[in-house]
Amino acid sequence: MKPLEGIKVIEMSTMLAGPMTARILAEWGADVIKVETLNGDAWRKQAGTTVSPCTPVANPNFDVQNMNKRFLSINMRTENGKAIMDKLLKDADVFVTNYRVKALEGMGLAYDQIKDKFPKLIHASVLGYGEKGPDKDKPGYDYTAFFSRTGLMADLVPAGGAPLIPVGGIGDHSVSVALVGGICAALYKRSITGKGDRVDVALLQSAIFILCTGILNGFNGRKLPRTRLDCGHACSNTYQGSDGEWFYLALIDYRRFGELCNLLELPDVAKDPRFNTQKAYYDNKTALTKIFDKKFAEHTVPYWHKLFEEHDIPHEILYHFKDVPNDKQVLANNYMYHYEYSDGTKTVFSNGPVSFASVDNSANTCKTSKHLGGDTEEILKELGYSKEEIAKMAEDKDICTGGSI
């Protein structure tokens, strides 16, 4: 049995953060119904603008946020559309959305509008900048609220260089993990009190939490951005091999500094007055980094990796995204898996961010998304609508029963 079997989730969200939240809940066993407008989630089409394949059958950039769900398309501007949503929420445990509060208010779905009508419902929202303050109604994306507003894009790059080039989804997926945790806590609380709750996580909030040590350093006077030569200390830094690739040396414990120097055939460096006490070692980090730069440029990164592995020196190769899907450690733990669509399109998907001893990740279901409204008829029949009523609503454009996207 999966942890959330028996939990019913209604998701009305677009793009990445809200959909990924619901995807994790689905992976953990919840019955997730994704409610879309008649135009569909914008990410259905935008996913095709990436280098990821997008065919009539295969849309992996959309699926990675939306697998294992059922798909319903309704017109929330009509009375019939609103009535359908009402019936869905009546029996639901969780409502997940990343619509802005003003938009939810316009549809009658803001927390304060439905909390008394559905007192056991967990109302879970993704926000951009938070529920209060001058920017509470500002549109928020991970590029803006998560990366730009928090110092991440400006300060985590070498000084003098261009800002960090972000990858979409880092902020969104961080929010998703946090929101899933909040939802599960609210469900546990409800099991005791019988009452629902509102749970929300903002992109700005999540980034501040994740970056809190960096922000603390900035508050206390650390000059950022900085260069490699202005590292914390030379044994916690990136180094380049003769092949042009990089690795991260992470020998945090100064007590092993002499051991490292001997391994690198630099015994005199360990005795050098500039480095032979912990204080001197920290004070002269730039000089030591330059010595290590010269040494590590003598051999390839695989050479250093093998040497460090043999002597249990903490380090890691700087992998590229393209390397990760075939990483033996990743595959051994079922963190990712290869998938082939019915039309032959090949891709890779990640499993969720948590493993349970009672659930075999290698046996996780991968039910990719359907076209817009692909499960509309089935869901409406479950809600008690007749075949004739469904046909009439489709004709009146209250619903979509199977689009081409």
Are 243 and 190 part of one and the same domain?
A: no
E strand spans, 228-371: 236-240, 246-250, 315-317, 336-340, 346-350
Phi, psi (degrees; rounded to nearest 5) at 240: -105, 135
| pLDDT of 404 strictly over 60 | no
Residue 303: burial class (beta carbons within 10 Å; 0-12, 13-18, 19+): middle
Starting at the edge strand found earlier in the chain, the sheet holding 315-317 runs 236-240, 246-250, 315-317
Is residue 217, in this structure, part of any structural domain at all? no
Are 174 and 133 part of one and the same domain?
A: yes
Is residue 348, in this structure, part of any structural domain at all? no
Query: Taking residues 79-86, what's their average pLDDT?
Result: 97
Here the CATH number for the domain that contains residue 314 is 3.30.1540.10
Are 89 and 20 part of one and the same domain?
A: yes
Is residue 357, in this structure, part of any structural domain at all? no
Is residue 150, in this structure, part of any structural domain at all? yes
Here the CATH number for the domain that contains residue 47 is 3.40.50.10540
Question: SS3 for 177-212, per residue?
Answer: HHHHHHHHHHHHHHHHHCCCEEEEEEHHHHHHHHCH
Are 243 and 280 part of one and the same domain?
A: yes
Are 182 and 122 part of one and the same domain?
A: yes
Query: Taking residues 214-234, what's their average pLDDT?
Result: 93
Task: Give the number of domains in the chain.
Answer: 2
| pLDDT of 46 strictly over 80 | no
Is residue 293, in this structure, part of any structural domain at all? yes
Query: Taking residues 99-116, what's their average pLDDT?
Result: 95
Query: Taking residues 217-236, what's their average pLDDT?
Result: 93
Are 66 and 184 part of one and the same domain?
A: yes
User: Which helix (H) or strand (E) segment is 304 a member of?
Assistant: helix 301-310
Q: What is the DSSP letter of 255?
A: G
139: left (phi over 0), alpha (psi -120 to 50) or beta: beta
The residue whose two tokens read 């499993």 is 351
pLDDT confidence of residue 45: 84
Q: Cβ(33)–Cβ(48) under 8 Å? A: no
Catalytic residue list: 172
Q: How confident is the model at residue 403 (pLDDT cuts 50, 70, 90)?
A: low
Are 89 and 235 part of one and the same domain?
A: no
| pLDDT of 260 strictly over 80 | yes
Q: Cβ(178)–Cβ(201) under 8 Å? A: yes
Q: Which amino acid is at 25?
A: L
Are 161 and 258 part of one and the same domain?
A: no
| pLDDT of 191 strictly over 60 | yes
Q: Cβ(176)–Cβ(20) under 8 Å? A: yes
- Enclosing domain of residue 35: 8-211+370-400
pLDDT confidence of residue 11: 98
Beta-carbon neighbour count of residue 202 at 10 Å? Answer: 21
Q: What is the mean pLDDT of the chain?
A: 94
pLDDT confidence of residue 54: 86
| pLDDT of 247 strictly over 90 | yes
Are 203 and 265 part of one and the same domain?
A: no
Structural tokens at position 216: 């603390």
Q: How confident is the model at residue 48 (pLDDT cuts 50, 70, 90)?
A: low
Poorest-confidence range of 173-182, 191-200, 358-367? 358-367
Q: Which amino acid is at 127?
A: L
Beta-carbon neighbour count of residue 340 at 10 Å? Answer: 10
Torsion angle of the four alpha carbons 354, 335, 61, 326, in this order, in degrees rounded to the nearest 10: 170
| pLDDT of 51 strictly over 90 | no
pLDDT confidence of residue 248: 98
Are 170 and 309 part of one and the same domain?
A: no
Is the model more confident about 314 or about 161? 314
Are 109 and 203 part of one and the same domain?
A: yes
pLDDT by residue (tens digit) across 317-352?
999 999 999 999 999 999 999 999 999 999 999 999
Is residue 343, in this structure, part of any structural domain at all? no
Are 192 and 61 part of one and the same domain?
A: yes
